[in-house]
Copies of this chain bind each other. A is one copy, B any other.
Amino acid sequence: MDFSYNPKTQDYLARIKAFMAEYVEPIEDKVYSELHELNPDGNWQNWQVHPAMEPLKQKAKDAGLWNLFLPDAELGQGLSCSEYAPLAEQTGRILFAPEIFNCNAPDTGNMEVLYHFGNEKQQAQWLTPLLNGEIRSVFGMTEPDVASSDATNMEATIALEGDELVLNGKKWWSTGLGHPHAKVMIFMGLSNPENDKHNQHSMVLVPLDSPGLHVKRMLTAYGDYDAPFGHGEMHLDNVRVPKENLLVGMGKGFAIAQGRLGPGRIHHCMRAIGMAEKALELAIKRGHSRVAFGRPIIELGGNKERIAHARMAIEQARLLTLQAAWKIDNLGVKNAMVDISAIKVVVPNMLQEVVDMAVQMHGGGGMCNDFPLARLAAGARALRLADGPDEVHMAMVSRLELKKYK
C-alpha cells in the first residue's frame, strides 16, 4: 500500500491550492454573502450568475484546471477517479468554487452520462457546450409523489409515439434548474413497464424550453434557494422530444444510472470532506479568538476532544473515499458498489457532526450567513438524502456482508 499522492496528483493539488488562495479565497466572504443573504435587493431573487464567476472560470480554463473530473485526456485532464478526488476536496472547501472549475454537480454527472452513453450527435449538441461551461444542465429523477428511495417507484412516463417521445409526470429537487444558463435535462421515466424491474426506465435528453415543461416552483432547502442553481419542481405535461433524444435505448435507464452514480458519489464525498475541513478550521479559529470565563473557548470543557474527534472522523472518511475511488479505477465501478454505498453513508454523517460542532463553537454567528456553516449544515443534511438516503446505502452494505456467511 502506498498512502502518498502520485506526482501528477501532487502537481494538480499544488496548482489548485494556489488558484484557490489567489483568486477564490479573497472573495469568498463577499460572494458567499451576496449569494445567501436574503436582502430584498439582493441577488438571489433574480437568479443571476454572480459577476465574479465567468472571469474566474476563464482563469481556471487558462490555468488548465478545467473539467478535472473527466478522465478523458483531451476533453478533461486525463485524471483518474483517485487522482481527481483530492482536487475535489479542495474545491469543496468553498461552496461556490466547484463551478469555477466546471466541476459542479449535477453537470459533472450529466457530462459523464453524455460522455459514456451519448451518441455523436447528442455529444455535439450538449456535451460540448457543457464541457465549455457555456450551458448548465439538470437531472430529472426524484419525484414528489413517491418514495424515491426506491427508484423503481418512479411514476413519470416516457412513451414512444411515432418519431417522438412523449413525457409526462412530475420531478422535484432538480438541482440547477434555476440557473439562467440551464438548457437541458436528463429525464428518467417509466417507458417499458412490461420489462423486468430494472429494465423498465429510460433516459431522455429534454431541452428545458420544451413546450409542456413547467417549472412549478423553486424549493428552499433548509430556508435557502441556493441560487442561482436552486432546486426546482417541474411538471411535464405531454412534453414531446424527437426520439433521437433517447440515451442508449429504451429500458436502459438503470444501466446508465449505475454508471453515472459511482464517480459522482466520490466527487460529492470528496467535496464534503473539503467542507468538513473548512468547518473544522473555522471552529478552531473561532475557539482561539473568543474568550469566556477567562480562557479561549477552545480550551473549555470538552472542546479539544471535539476537535480531536472531528480530525479522526475526517481522516477515516477521506481514506474510505479514496479507497472507493481506487477501487473504481482498478476494479471497476461494479466491484466498488459497496464501497460507494459506504462512503455515501459515512461522509455526510461525518460532515453533519463536524459542522454541528463548528456551529456550536460559533454561537449565534454559526446560525446566520456571517459564516458558511449554516449552509454547510444544510448541505450535509441534504446529502444524507440526495442520491439515495442513508438507509438504502446501508442496506446495500449489509446485503453483501450477510451473503458472506450464507
- Select the residue from A5, A149, A290, A402 with max chain B CB neighbours within 10 A: A402
Query: How many copies make up the complex?
Result: 4
Task: Report the interface size for chain A: residues with CB under 8 A from the other chain.
Answer: 99
Which of B312, B326, B360, B365 contacts A346 (CB under 8 A)? B312
Cβ of A244 under 8 Å from chain B: no
- Known contacts A308-B397, A320-B316, A342-B315: does B327 contact A402 (CB below 8 Å)? no
B residues within 8 A CB of A398?
Answer: 304-305, 307-308, 311
Which of B5, B36, B382 contacts A367 (CB under 8 A)? B382
How many whole Å from A375's CB to the nearest CB in chain B?
A: 8
Cβ of A219 under 8 Å from chain B: yes
B residues within 8 A CB of A327?
Answer: 3
- Select the residue from A172, A330, A367, A397 with max chain B CB neighbours within 10 A: A367
- Known contacts A220-B223, A222-B222, A320-B316: does B363 contact A149 (CB below 8 Å)? yes
A298 contacts B402, C-beta separation under 8 Å: yes
Cβ of A56 under 8 Å from chain B: no
CA distance A235 to B320 in the complex (A): 47
A381 contacts B368, C-beta separation under 8 Å: no
How many whole Å from A77's CB to the nearest CB in chain B?
A: 18
Which of B2, B221, B231, B394 contacts A326 (CB under 8 A)? B2
B residues within 8 A CB of A320?
Answer: 312, 315-316, 319
B residues within 8 A CB of A153?
Answer: 291-292
Cβ of A377 under 8 Å from chain B: yes
CA distance A284 to B398 in the complex (A): 10
Determine the residue in chain B with the shortest Cβ distance to A367: B221
B293 contacts A150, C-beta separation under 8 Å: yes
Which A358-402 residues sit within 8 Å CB-CB of chain B?
A: 359-360, 363-369, 374-375, 377-378, 381-382, 384-385, 389-391, 393-395, 397-399, 401-402
A222 contacts B377, C-beta separation under 8 Å: yes
Determine the residue in chain B with the shortest Cβ distance to A223: B223
If A3-B326, A280-B401, A281-B405 are given as contacts, then 13 extra A-B residue pairs at C-beta distance below 8 Å, sorted by A number, are: A37-B220, A38-B38, A144-B364, A147-B363, A149-B292, A173-B364, A219-B367, A223-B223, A288-B405, A301-B304, A304-B398, A311-B401, A316-B317
